[in-house]
Amino acid sequence: MSPAQANPSPTTESYNVIVVGAGFAGMYMLHRLRGLGFSARVYEQGGGVGGTWYWNRYPGARCDVESMQYSYSFSEELQQEWDWSERYASQPEILKYANHVADRFDLRRDIQFNTNVERAVFDERARCWAVTTSDGTTVQAQFVVLATGCLSNARKPDIKGLDNFKGPVYHTGNWPHEDVDFTGLRVGLIGTGSSGIQSAPVIAEQAKHLTVFQRTANFSIPARNAALTGEERNTFRKNYPEIRRFAREVARNGIFAEQPDRGALDDSDDVRREKYAARWERGGLTFMYAYNNLGLALSANDTAANFVRGKIGEIVTDPETAKLLQPDNHPIGTKRICIDTDYFATFNRPNVSLVDIKSNPIQEITAHAVRVGGEDQEVDALVLATGFDAMTGSVAKIDIRGPGGQTLNRKWAEGPKTYLGLMSAGFPNLFIITGPGSPSVLSNMIVSIEQHVDWIADSLVHMRKQGLATMEADGEAEDKWVVHVNEVAHGTLYPQANSWYMGANIPGKPRIFMPYIGGVGVYRRICDEVAAKGYEGFVMEAEAQPRRLGAGGCMTPA
């Protein structure tokens, strides 16, 4: 490899690295590549940076990790200068931050927006990827990095008659850029995961009536969102070295917080209730850190689940509605726990109703109504908060063909297989950021993104130094990793829920627990050890013959 200047008269546009996606992963990847002298091009399907935060503009959209922690740590200046205004950042503020990062590090000049990567084919002779985009262009790159995001492929549910509906239909994961005004309208909301739970209270305030169609009741903890004071921000900033170190190396999920040192059944009922009550008052995801075995032992988990069910019963005044809202089919935390602002209290409003579509599934959607149990619930607009083809959906949309024409989709037909979540055997020089088999969605995504980007950047530098042409996961190492990921998951309660972690929300998708649940600290140590041992479990090959350098450093045989 060599920087772009190596050959000033290219015949084919080529780069050292093509990055797919300009969310938080793609932006940082580009920044690192540039700093190391690699030529890179980023393709982004959206009209701007931010990835999932570019698309998820629904009312009430907010991050469930605290803003001071859901932010890049790679630049000391950046983390000292950016002022988060709230404990949990809203989508517009996160998008503003993403844009600030793009400007501050001058990233846009290497990003092509409104462009999908449709195909990537490995040219065995050139040992290079040929990448075709939606504008019909094919470019070459020695490496491709998929920074395609885990929650980027919004899923329209397969409900009979949906296309016949005459009013507007919005998906939370692909929300319009223009203002949506529900004033005076009857709105139907399908889906009660994080997106439904965050948007319902905001829509209810505007709409004439909101009908929530619930298939699975979800556990949700109050966010207790509030403005951040200057003092709070400064405390974080002063302590960032320790906070970031802890998040990277100690915390399982990449979030700085006190760690539980005892199990739920080690305390008396009264003490336990007090602990849960204190965490409920404090709000946020750390409710689940009350004890160290809530994700492991059902008896322990039940105590937390019962506490939350009790709280729902206290908040919701109509007993029948309260009962429906109390989750009863999965241990707490095994589906992504939600954090909300006034979600349960929203059902006390006279203009909000809840329809149980678990016992009575939606029969069909007609021109003006959602039909359930033979009864038409009339609505003027529909909001689909029905989630994503998570973790693999965005990768699957690209036709990726490795040596011998093997497609990644065929290889992953029984479920995604990767080594460390970073590469898949049979697909040389193709990296995935926060892919299946890595902690990804079980962690603070920015912590995981930075770790992956740095690891990939280091491996490219290693290859450049050693004059290596290809890097690929070894099939045996991959098989062992897949078994390990599965074993660790099955040592927990997580696989008991029909969650998108398991691919269970997509009909026909293989049921495999996709993220690595061993924790970001453990995972980082494994990745570092692998690199220290000369990239153990990866096969790296040197140049077979001297090469002529392409414009961007993609090498073609001389």
Binding site for ligand NA7 (CB under 6 A): 151, 157, 159, 172-173, 190-196, 215-216, 336, 357, 385-387, 500, 505
Identify whether the C-beta of residue 487 lies closer than 8 Å to the C-beta of residue 495. no
- Which residue, 387 or 515, is less far from ligand NA7 as judged by CB? 387
151 vs 352, beta carbon nearer ligand NA7: 151
Backbone angles phi, psi at 457, to 5 degrees: -60, -45
- Smallest distance from the beta carbon of 466 to ligand NA7, in angstroms? 39
Q: How far is the CB of 215 from ligand NA7 (least distance, A)?
A: 4
Residue with structure tokens 């600290």? 521
Nearer to ligand NA7, 162 or 468 (CB): 162
Q: Please list the residues that pair with 310 across neighbouring strands.
A: none
- Compute the distance between CA of residue 336 and CA of residue 106 in angstroms, rounded to an integer: 35
Task: Please report how close the Cβ of residue 152 comes to ligand NA7 at its closest, in angstroms.
Answer: 10
**Minimum CB separation from ligand NA7 for residue 153, in Å?**
11
CB atoms under 10 Å from CB of 358, counted, come to 13
Please tell me the distance from the alpha carbon of residue 494 to that of residue 171, in angstroms, as a whole number.
27
Q: Tell me the closest approach of the beta carbon of residue 149 to ligand NA7, in angstroms.
A: 11
CB 303 within 8 A of CB 296: no
Tell me whether strands 111-112 and 381-384 are parallel, antiparallel or unpaired.
unpaired
d(C-alpha 143, C-alpha 463), whole Å: 11
Cβ proximity to ligand NA7, 446 vs 460, nearer residue: 446
Enter the tokens of residue 28. Answer: 């940082």
Instruction: Tell me phi and psi for residue 309, to 5 degrees.
Output: -60, -40
- Please state the closest distance from residue 289 (CB atom) to ligand NA7, in A: 17
Smallest gap, in angstroms, from Cβ of residue 298 to ligand NA7?
Answer: 20
For residues 151 and 228, which CB has a smaller minimum distance to ligand NA7 in the complex? Answer: 151
Residue (362 or 477) nearer to ligand NA7, CB:
362
Closer to ligand NA7 by CB, 172 or 293: give it.
172
Residue with tokens 């490795």: 402
- Phi and psi of 187, rounded to 5°? -110, 135
Q: What would the two tokens of residue 521 be?
A: 């600290």
SS3 helix, strand, coil % of the chain, rounded to 5? Answer: 35, 20, 45
- Evaluate whether 539 touches 466 at the Cβ level (below 8 Å): no
C-alpha to C-alpha distance for 398 and 122, rounded to whole angstroms: 13
Shortest CB 219 distance to ligand NA7, Å: 12
Which of 215/411 has CB closer to ligand NA7? 215
Q: In the complex with ligand NA7, which residue's Cβ is closer, 304 or 385? A: 385
Q: Which is nearer to ligand NA7, 136 or 507 (CB)?
A: 507
The answer to whether 556 and 480 are in contact (CB under 8 A) is no
Q: Measured from the CB of residue 335, what is the shortest distance to ligand NA7 in angstroms?
A: 7
The type of residue at 174 is N
Measured from each CB, the residue nearest to ligand NA7 is: 193
Distance of CA 340 to the CA centre of its chain: 18
Tell me how far, at minimum, the Cβ of 4 lies from ligand NA7, in Å: 37
Whole-angstrom CA distances from 122 to 205, 383, 427, 483 are: 52, 41, 8, 28
